[in-house]
Structure 1
Amino acid sequence: MSEAEDFARLMRELKERGGLSYGVLARRLHTSTSTLHRYCNGEALPAEFAVVDRFARACGASAPEAVDLHRAWLLADARRRAGAAAPTPVPETAAPDPPPVPVPVLVTEAEADPAPALTAEPAVTVVGPAAAGEPVVRPTWYRRRAAVAVAAGLAAGAVAVALVAVTGPDRGTPQTGTGTGTGTGAGPGAGSRGPAASAPAVTPSADGAAPTGSAAGPASPSAASGGPAPAPTSAPPPGTAPGQAPAAPLRAAVRSHVWAAGCDHAYLSERGPASVPAPPVEADAPAWASAQRAVHAGNQIVEVTLHGTGGGAVVLEGLEVRVAARRTPPAWNVYEMSQGCGGGLTPAVFAVNLDAPRPLARPVAGNDAGNRLPAPSFPMRVSAVEPVVLRVVAATTGCDCDWSLDLRWSSPAGSGTLRLDDGGRPLRTSAATGRPVYGYALEQGRWSR
């Protein structure tokens, strides 16, 4: 059973138990009877949570039943969004191999008669994603350069041993191998061990830090001479960096095109009425507005659904309004999505005046057919089984504003701020005072003033 079918089943069960007809429920939900039929049959899905909440309360659902219905709607809505926004896969193009590196004469001799030490690829310190367990695929030119490095290291070791043998204080005295290596790094026992177990292949950097390739050899100079081995350098364990805020244990779904009562809204567009198509339904508003390069006119309703991602609860502490830019409102046309609609429900919201020097999210009470709905207030509790819906109404009469919301949260794992915006871009609301206003005439099939 799909998510939409599961949601429709829960709606049918609540309706049958409540004993209310489709007509009565449709009036209480401020929608049509045919639309409610489609909800209960799984042919359509409510665009906003307010419809689901009113349906649950009208049918007398208990608190656990209302949570189950809300969870089913969230899953069905997420599935619908994922299906509508599924990206087209783009085939990846393999990067061309880098050009071959010129090989010196030393490499040619080494490859013609490779030493046993060159049969295995030398170990290297891996930095980046490969350190997390990803396979490292090295082309042929990389292995050739590794062979060059090892051969050069062996040659340098042979030269160092020769120098020690010539300049040492006791050339004829056999070495015991129990002392500590000095000078070039070859131990006292290097004369009897041969170059393969002597000098390091890489010189330390000027600042004293161990170079990346210093761990490539099979044994360090200290280990070859019997001295203490240097402490290996390692990357810090994965996790939150010092001083960095922990990741928010929340998941937020932001709807930036919410219409009052599901039908009342207005947009600004620079296009003329002959070039603008008929108004869409609320669920198709984002695509319609994007195609018309339209901006919310006068006010914007934003609905944020939050639920926890862990096993514990998260406390929501408050909302802060961030206005990123204020511009002069564009001289565009206003297009109203409906010429008259509404109902007896006024949801409780956080009201934001974008024209204020420092806008605040102010709690405002609502009304449902004469019954007062209490204003939302912080702190709030949210978890994986207790979602929270925040409704914000932003208005302006004097600016074309870019804005966003910062949600403060805290949990046993830490605290932080979650940015709420329009998919990584700021929300945008513009004043529309004095602009030409158009409504859509259904009988004529065109926009008119």
Structure 2
Amino acid sequence: MSEAENFARLMRELKERAGLSYGALARRLHTSTSTLHRYCNGEALPAEFAVVDRFARACGASQGEAVDLHRAWLLADARRRAGVVPEPEPEPGPGPGPGPALRSESESVPEAEPVVVGAPEPVARRDRYRRRAAVVAAVGVTAGAVAVALLAAAGPESRAPRAGGSTGTGTGATPPAASVPAAPGAPEPTPPAGSASAGSAGPSGSSDPGSGPADTPPPASPPASAPGRAPVAPLKAAVRSHVWTAGCDHAYLAERGPGSVAPPPVEADAPAWASAQRAVHAGSQIVEVTLHGTGPGAVVLEDLEVRVSARRKPPAWNVYQMSQGCGGGLTPAVFAVNLDAPRPLARPVAGNDGGSPLPAPVLPLRVSAVEPVVLRVEAATTGCDCDWFLDLRWTGPSGSGTLRIDDDGRPLRTSAATGRPVYGYALEQGRWAR
């Protein structure tokens, strides 16, 4: 029995013992019934442990059962990241014709979280008592035990983003320029070496349908520190640029008609789906950045600055909703960004979890190899097709500098979708409908 099958078996056993229907459980997990059904059948794997945690609590799992479910998810997620077990593709609907394939086998692996090798076994057990803060507090000092267990499971071969090239404020260096052209069609310069790669690559840059993610090579590895040069950032960053509200609610803009667009994926498959459909985030985009130190000392995260590198007229494309609504009482605390502002700022916003308030994130924050931090940024626009990125200022034992947070060397891209045709996927008909 594979790791994914074992995880699905444990989920089915807990569900059957609890006597809950898929619909009732889906409402408690803030996800769709079809997505939960795929989890329990082993056809898909949750992208985040938050879903697994809520599932265990909703089914009344004991502490030992929750630990077993957690361990099974870690093993299945590590195997998926290693590319041994490809994700199944959604079944094509009976529409005008099958949509483009969501991904090839080589593309089925979501990008890995940064790796911490040699995490002790008790970490997974300590996670039980601290994981709630790691999941619902979108930013802050996350429970170190949770992140170490998750990162250790990813394996040393996972593709961790580069976070070394930083601008040293103590050496008189200036922050790097924007990594994208100011308008479509202009030649694209080489991204700065300090860019933190996103955990998934979606379409970005020019709105020209002929350009795609493969047009821009990934940034070169940053050089090591040398006397008189900016210090290497003592941080590793994993960026998830396709984060959905409650794990199920999001919308994309795509130029293709509904008959040519593939069925909506689960959140874990969203990067490959968006790339295949040449889709961009519609109206809003949630970016989640997980940071941890790479050295023995602590690093202080001082400020998060928003840079809009290009503004264009929003394309007259269709809007495709990933879900018809999934409810939910979980509202993570975030940094909210209004991309329409002349000088967008990352504004801390409090959240709540079933009526329990979650404090707004506050910088500065301390991060180290055993104390990771998760920053969650929610950007929105109603008036532009925006290219943007984040600059994270840090101070550590080696000096100070700025870490670029973008989408795998390309800018993040969010477009307004006001007044555009909106389509939802009708499962019973197997097609997109207005």
Question: What is the deviation of 1:67?
Answer: 3.6
**Percent of aligned pairs with the same amino acid:** 79
2:364 matches 1:372: no
Correspondence for 1:316: 301
Which AA in structure 2 matches 1:301?
I
Correspondence for 1:62: 129
TM-aligned CA distance change 1:241 to 1:68, over 3 Å: closer
Correspondence for 2:90: none
Decide whether the 8 Å contact of 2:31 with 2:326 is kept in 1.
no
Correspondence for 1:410: 395
2:340 matches 1:385: no
Question: What is the deviation of 1:275?
Answer: 0.6
TM-aligned CA distance change 1:308 to 1:368, over 3 Å: same
Which AA in structure 2 matches 1:370?
G
2:418 matches 1:341: no
In structure 2, distance between residues paired with 1:322 and 1:77: 31
Spell out, residue by residue over 1:137-170, the C-alpha distance to the aligned partner (whole angstroms, 9 max, x if none): xxxxxxxxxxxxxxxxxxxxxxxxxxxxxxxxxx
Question: What is the deviation of 1:55?
Answer: 7.3
Which AA in structure 1 matches 2:412?
L
Correspondence for 1:330: 315
TM-aligned CA distance change 1:384 to 1:243, over 3 Å: same
2:280 matches 1:290: no
Q: Which moved more, 1:304-313 or 1:420-429?
A: 304-313
Q: Which runs of 5+ in 2 are unaligned?
A: 64-127, 133-142, 161-222
Q: TM-score, normalised by structure 2?
A: 0.58
2:148 matches 1:71: yes
Q: Secondary structure, in 3 states, of the residue corresponding to 2:269?
A: helix
Correspondence for 1:437: 422
Give the structure with higher Rg (CA): 1
Spell out, residue by residue over 1:348-371, the C-alpha distance to the aligned partner (whole angstroms, 9 max, x if none): 000000000000000000111111
Pick aligned residue for 1:279 from 258, 264, 272: 264
Decide whether the 8 Å contact of 1:47 with 1:283 is kept in 2.
yes
Q: Secondary structure, in 3 states, of the residue corresponding to 1:62?
A: helix
Q: Secondary structure, in 3 states, of the residue corresponding to 2:341?
A: coil
Question: What is the deviation of 1:36?
Answer: 7.9
Decide whether the 8 Å contact of 2:291 with 2:373 is kept in 1.
yes
Spell out, residue by residue over 1:7-33, the C-alpha distance to the aligned partner (whole angstroms, 9 max, x if none): x7xx99xx9xxxx96959876543589
Q: Secondary structure, in 3 states, of the residue corresponding to 1:274?
A: helix
Which AA in structure 2 matches 1:390?
L
Q: Secondary structure, in 3 states, of the residue corresponding to 2:259?
A: helix
In structure 2, distance between residues paired with 1:422 and 1:36: 29
TM-aligned CA distance change 1:63 to 1:3, over 3 Å: farther
TM-aligned CA distance change 1:31 to 1:292, over 3 Å: closer
Correspondence for 2:191: none
Pick aligned residue for 1:240 from 197, 203, 225: 225
In structure 2, distance between residues paired with 1:321 and 1:264: 24
Which AA in structure 1 matches 2:151?
L
Q: Secondary structure, in 3 states, of the residue corresponding to 1:326?
A: strand
Correspondence for 1:46: 46
Correspondence for 2:199: none
Q: Secondary structure, in 3 states, of the residue corresponding to 1:301?
A: strand
Q: TM-score, normalised by structure 1?
A: 0.56
Which AA in structure 1 matches 2:339?
L
In structure 2, distance between residues paired with 1:271 and 1:38: 27
Q: Secondary structure, in 3 states, of the residue corresponding to 1:393?
A: strand
TM-aligned CA distance change 1:382 to 1:26, over 3 Å: farther
Q: Which runs of 5+ in 1 are unaligned?
A: 84-237
TM-aligned CA distance change 1:377 to 1:250, over 3 Å: same
Which AA in structure 2 matches 1:275?
S
In structure 1, distance between residues paired with 2:19 and 2:400: 46
Question: What is the deviation of 1:73?
Answer: 2.5
RMSD: 3.8
Decide whether the 8 Å contact of 2:224 with 2:232 is kept in 1.
no
Higher relative contact order (CA 8 A, sep 6+): 2
Correspondence for 1:259: 244
Which AA in structure 2 matches 1:359?
P
Decide whether the 8 Å contact of 2:130 with 2:146 is kept in 1.
no
Correspondence for 2:175: none
Question: What is the deviation of 1:317?
Answer: 0.9
Decide whether the 8 Å contact of 1:268 with 1:297 is kept in 2.
yes
Counting matched residue pairs gives 287
Question: What is the deviation of 1:387?
Answer: 1.2
In structure 2, distance between residues paired with 1:338 and 1:365: 25
In structure 1, distance between residues paired with 2:226 and 2:276: 42
Matches within 5 A, 1:92-241: 240-241=225-226
Decide whether the 8 Å contact of 1:329 with 1:398 is kept in 2.
yes
Which AA in structure 2 matches 1:400?
D
Decide whether the 8 Å contact of 1:4 with 1:73 is kept in 2.
no
Decide whether the 8 Å contact of 1:324 with 1:402 is kept in 2.
yes
Decide whether the 8 Å contact of 2:35 with 2:266 is kept in 1.
no
Q: Secondary structure, in 3 states, of the residue corresponding to 1:377?
A: coil
Correspondence for 1:425: 410
Which AA in structure 1 matches 2:421?
P
Question: What is the deviation of 1:69?
Answer: 3.4
Correspondence for 1:250: 235
Decide whether the 8 Å contact of 1:271 with 1:292 is kept in 2.
yes
